[in-house]
Amino acid sequence: MAYIIESEGLNVYFGESHILKDISIQIPTNEVTAIIGPSGCGKSTFIRTINRMNDLIPSFRHEGLVLLDGDDIYDPKLDVVDLRMRIGMVFQKPNPFPKSIFDNVAYGLGIQGITDKEVLRERVEQSLKAAALWDEVMDKLETSALGLSGGQQQRLCIARTIAVEPEVILMDEPCSALDPISTTKIEDLIHKLKKDFTIIIVTHNMQQATRVSKHTSFFLNGEIVESGLTEKIFIEPGDKRTEDYITGRFG
Amino acid sequence: MNRIIPPKYSQSIMNVIFWAAGIFTVLILLFIIGYVLINGLPVFSPEFLLGSPINAGAQGGIFPMIVSTFYVTFVALILAVPLGVLSAIYLAEYSGQNRIVRAIRFGAQTLASIPSIVFGLFGLAFFVTFLHLGFCVLSGGLTLALMAIPTILATSEISMISVPSSFREGSLAIGATKWQTVYKVVLPAALPGIITGIILGMARAIEETAAILYTVGAAIQIPVSVFDPARPLPLHLYYLATEGISLPNAYGTAAVLIILILVITLVTNYLVDRYIKKMTGS
């Protein structure tokens, strides 16, 4: 099996606090990997380490390796802007820009210097279709994205991310602010997207992890307790703490 | 329970007080504007609005003063808008928090509360005398720019800081650079606030008298070059009233000034509202 992202002995600190402890994980290419665990266990910090969003936090410091296709993503020679084009991110709260629907999806393409109107239109349409949003917005592409519902906004954010054709999509609890119907739509979408993208999804929702992911890692207090096939983790967990967590005894 | 006034009465009493305060404030405003317009509008005529002053302004019109006002304000804004907005971008997006930044912010706040006559004196000493610019549109414009910068800076900085950081994260996560994020996401989202700051700074420049008293000269000809002396409306008003030249024309000048400010404010409010509606879709 090919692994697109690997980390080895990754430690992350914010100032004095040791947030991630010795994380070694392998993320298989073109599969969905779920990261579960209680609040504050370091799930979000981990995925933000992968696309180097933590660089924005002045007290952030790390040790160990994170590899994308075998290349160290913290190599000083690596351009973080290129990295983020290869590793897209969808946030917990939908965050479309206060621009038109079209401009939101075209945003990353503009960043890459694509100005040809025809190409832009085609890529925007493709991305909106891939994000299962096209039918709902095709006749109002010029209206503000902030006029969409929460679920539509989140699918727009997914369209915005896939428009730049990343290899990996990080999703940080993408459904936690959404209603059940919108959640189902996003989950269906994740199933569709995995053939083209590697997806890492952080989730609080255990059912969601079983529904969408092939692999699961259970994080607790900044450490990985257990990683493996989702079926295996949820049916016969190898660690007592995993069992306690998935059966709802804490978290 | 030994409340002096029961809650349901204190609620009504406070409502009355708030209403009264609001209405009183609006009444004062309407009274001042009304008083100036009632006294000023009768002198309005094509000759008054489009002619040059005769006998120091006792007769004739104020067209050169209207031109001077626009000219001096324009010169002030050309300098103050880029400086104010660029410094605001630096403070809001790039600087982080350190002693230099706090010093800049403190400096700007202090600058905003310095009496305008002090700016006038500085303009006289520095632009007019030291730089040998003389009494002219440029000296006046530069002095007004110094006054407008703190207003533009403070308002722009606040409106950029209040842009949600989730917008910045979304942009950076897609592979935008810091500057692309500022330019394509933060600035458009903060634009209504920035425009408001510019309008406030501009209004300050249009209405200012003391700061230009010592810097812009008093010529009643239409200024052509930036090195020509000029006489913006507030200064003309000041001479007409204090030197007892013509009180009716002083009111007329004041009315023009008020109408100018009203039109600028209403038009920009309208445009900003439309922009916000387009941006947020509501």
Residues B227, B107 share a domain: yes
pLDDT of residue B1: 56
* B22 assigned to some structural domain: yes
- pLDDT (mean) for B180-195: 95
ipTM of the complex: 0.92
Fold of A3-246: Rossmann fold (3.40.50)
Q: Is A2 on the interface with B (CB under 8 A)?
A: no
Residues B210, B121 share a domain: yes
Per-residue pLDDT of B240-268, as tens digits, reads 999 989 999 999 999 999 999 999 999 99
Query: Which residue of A92, A99, A137, A171 is the best one to mutate when testing the B interface, meaning the one whose CB has the most B CBs within 10 A?
Result: A99
Query: 3-class SS at A6?
Result: strand
Residue A203: φ, ψ to 5°: -145, 150
Per-residue pLDDT of B11-39, as tens digits, reads 899 999 999 999 999 999 999 999 999 99
* B11 assigned to some structural domain: yes
**CATH number for the domain harbouring residue B160:** 1.10.3720.10
* B2 assigned to some structural domain: no
Residues B33, B11 share a domain: yes
Nearest to B174 among A82, A143, A164 (CB): A164
pLDDT of residue B99: 86
User: How far is it, in rounded angstroms, from Cα A162 to Cα A181?
Assistant: 22
Q: Is A37 on the interface with B (CB under 8 A)?
A: no
Residues B19, B96 share a domain: no
Question: Cβ(B282)–Cβ(A147) under 8 Å?
Answer: yes
Instruction: Name the minimum distance, in Å, from the CA of A16 to any CA of chain B.
Output: 20
Residue A169 falls in which region: left (phi positive, over 0), alpha (psi -120 to 50) or beta:
beta
| Inter-CA distances, A43 with A228, A237, A247, B87, Å | 16, 19, 19, 38
* B144 assigned to some structural domain: yes
Residues B148, B13 share a domain: no
Residues B51, B35 share a domain: no
- pLDDT (mean) for B64-88: 95
**Percentage of residues in chain A with pLDDT exceeding 70?**
100
Mean pLDDT of chain A: 94
Report the run of H or E that residue A180 belongs to, with start and end.
helix A180-193
pLDDT of residue A251: 58
Per-residue pLDDT of A168-215, as tens digits, reads 999 999 999 889 999 999 999 999 999 999 999 999 889 999 999 999
| Chain A from 113 to 152: CB within 8 A of any B CB | 143-147
Q: Is B189 on the interface with A (CB under 8 A)?
A: yes
Residues B82, B38 share a domain: no
Residues B91, B39 share a domain: no
Question: Residues B206-243, buried b or exposed e (16+ Cβ, 10 A)?
Answer: bbbbbbbbbbbbebbeebeebebbbbbbbbbbbbbbee
Nearest to A97 among B167, B177, B281 (CB): B167
How many domains is chain B built from?
2
Residue A206, token pair as written in the block: 């255990």
* B1 assigned to some structural domain: no
Nearest CA in chain B to A100: B279
Instruction: Give the model's confidence band at B57: pLDDT under 50 very low, under 70 low, under 90 confident, else very high.
Output: confident
**What are the sequence ranges of the domains in chain A?**
3-246
Residues B164, B136 share a domain: yes
Residues B63, B30 share a domain: no
Per-residue pLDDT of B163-179, as tens digits, reads 999 999 999 999 999 99
Nearest CA in chain B to A50: B173
Helices (H), strands (E): how many in chain B? 12, 2
Indicate if the pLDDT at residue A249 is higher than 80. Answer: no
* B219 assigned to some structural domain: yes
Indicate if the pLDDT at residue B131 is higher than 70. Answer: yes
pLDDT of residue B109: 87
Tell me the count of A-B CB pairs closer than 8 A: 79
Instruction: Give the model's confidence band at B8: pLDDT under 50 very low, under 70 low, under 90 confident, else very high.
Output: confident
Residue A95, token pair as written in the block: 């965050």
Nearest CA in chain B to A160: B174
Contact B173 A146 (CB under 8 A): no
Q: Which pTM does this prediction carry?
A: 0.87
From the CB of residue A178, how many other CB atoms can be counted at a distance below 10 Å? 22
Secondary structure letter of residue A197 according to DSSP: S
- pLDDT (mean) for B188-209: 93
Range of the domain at B23: 7-43
Query: 3-class SS at A142?
Result: coil
Nearest to A88 among B96, B164, B173 (CB): B173
Residues B216, B268 share a domain: yes
